[in-house]
Structure 1
């Protein structure tokens, strides 16, 4: 289980819809905040040259506090509840946590059993004969 299934558990957490949506939200808010900061910095440089003719009134972020929106997205991500982690926590609290984890990720455990039963990696399979 340690050798094979831990990667599947990590994958289930990373691929969880809650995690994917939260990461997408973070990326979008970070992009907005960075774009606004870069745009405003560019405007400040242009205004030095042109005596203040340029503003940020036309962009879609005019009057939007992108930094606050990013902070809200970061806080939401930090407080995120992922159902895959909750299921793993339930399994780990039981005496037979290994069996419960196998049941939770039974499709991955079946692949592992097929691989170890005569996989040609030096272990004894059912169709091979022992050679001395």
Structure 2
């Protein structure tokens, strides 16, 4: 199972639509928080030179609580339910869990190899040498 299925299970979990949407949301909220923090830091460096005449009112994030939006995105990601993980949990609760996982995450290349003659990369046997 380790050689055959783990990469498919990991790929399925990472590529799950729920996971990708949550990661994109988290990335976007972190990006916004970083932009606002960078803008504020730039203002803090410029204001001593120009007698405090710069503010963040021209910023796209003026009055937006980006930290709360980031915290909400982190909370949503931490509470995320991925259907692929639920399927894995169902398989692991059964006595024949390895067989169920193999059926759930079958390798298409491996299936083609078995149809054409046995093990992967084997040309098959005709009964003669």
Same fold (TM over 0.5): yes
Task: Name the structure 2 match of 1:111.
Answer: 109
Q: 1:48 to 1:84 in 2, by over 3 A?
A: same
Q: With structure 2 as the length reference, what TM-score do the two structures score?
A: 0.86
The structural deviation recorded for 1:21 is 0.4
- Paired residues in the alignment total 126
Q: With structure 1 as the length reference, what TM-score do the two structures score?
A: 0.85
- TM superposition outliers: structure 1 runs of 4+ over 6 Å: none
Task: Name the structure 2 match of 1:4.
Answer: 4
Alpha carbons 1:118, 1:126 under 8 Å: kept: no
Task: Name the structure 1 match of 2:125.
Answer: 126
Question: 1:83-98 counterparts in 2 under 5 A?
Answer: 83-98=83-98
- State the alpha-carbon separation in 2 of the partners of residues 119 and 16 from structure 1: 28
The structural deviation recorded for 1:111 is 2.5
Q: Secondary structure at the match of 2:47?
A: helix
Q: 1:125 to 1:118 in 2, by over 3 A?
A: farther
Aligned-pair RMSD on alpha carbons?
A: 2.0
- State the alpha-carbon separation in 2 of the partners of residues 71 and 128 from structure 1: 66
Task: Name the structure 2 match of 1:56.
Answer: 56
